[in-house]
A and B are shown apart, each in its own frame.
Chain A
Amino acid sequence: MGGMHGMGPIAPEHAEPVFHEPWEGRVFALVRAMGAWRKWNIDASRHQRELIPPADYLRMSYYEKWLTGLIELMIKRGLVTRAEIASGRASPATPKAQPALTADKVATLTAKGSPADREVARTAPRFQAGSPVMTRNMNPEGHTRLPRYARAKRGTIDRIHGVFVFPDTNAAFQGENPQYLYSVRFTARELWGDQEHASPDDAVYIDLWESYLEPAA
């Protein structure tokens, strides 16, 4: 939602708790614990939350969105049925599973994480630090990490991060297709036009995959 107007003031909360209600912590933990089944990936998880209809998305609290996304993914990937969600009881026919994540594995899960870079033998990066680039004007129906406000904009490669899993295909279970990831610098003026209060040096840096970019003169 970068660049949208009308969302109102930012409201920092004094002495904010990590979770406002116990159920928020349970949703957070359920998402992590069910993720351990590896029936989906982080990109599919983000995409599922983006599939929440916009009006609901703006109305829901953060962890309500997580809850909604989790339920839909579990159904989609065959871990539960909609009937089970509705009734709250397991259907009698299903065998009982062994949890993918047990308490003794939690410390390892949080300490190791899931690196998203890939060592893939492939060609040299198409761009170097300092290369001028244009972002593509693309509006895919599925998941992408090229923000709307940065499409068809001119930027400069700031640095090469390495080769990373490509979310657009990974979210759709169409493979990791790793490719080079760059930090791209865009001047505020390029993104937003002349702004009264911006300095000419103000800039936004966005992490973008190689296929989002084309060479610019």
Chain B
Amino acid sequence: MIEAAAGGVSREQRISALCAGGCAVAAVGVPVCVAALWAFGSWEVLALARLIPPDIRPDMEMGGGVRTWQRVTGAAICLVPALLLSYGLLRARRSLTAFVRGDFFGADVVGGLRGYAGAMFWAAVASVVSVPVLSVAISFANPPGHKELSLDLSGAQVLNLLGAAILWVIASAMARASSIARENEQFV
């Protein structure tokens, strides 16, 4: 804050500016890519991009190419975690731009971090839930014996949930620090 006031830009502020830019790009890019892949991708591409569980690909390819209703359903289901992720990234961007301004304890920072943590948590939950829902929905029209119910709970997803919970706790601690900082501002 002192460095910012003096006209200098600290290393944290430079990194925050870069990350804020990255968040904005990813927040727009992720849902657009998910929608584009579902709009134009083949089963092979969708499996490679992990938008469908790779193990259901052979059964899906039996029915030929991706049909329009499968594209719409798949996009609708996959966009839920993607949009939650985007929302989280936009909230993180809010915190990062506050850091760039030299505001390290403001309401924007705490609100942004809490929003990011919450969105990451729900995005991780949605990504776990979306796999079985997606597999059932897009294989609904498959012949008997080829309908799918795929479950996927990887270590990375569990770590995402844990990471989001830890970040939420840190954001709550920062909320307390922010309230102390506000109180200190009233001291001369």
The answer on A and B forming one complex is: no
> Contact residues of A with B, CB < 8 Å?
none
> Contact residues of B with A, CB < 8 Å?
none
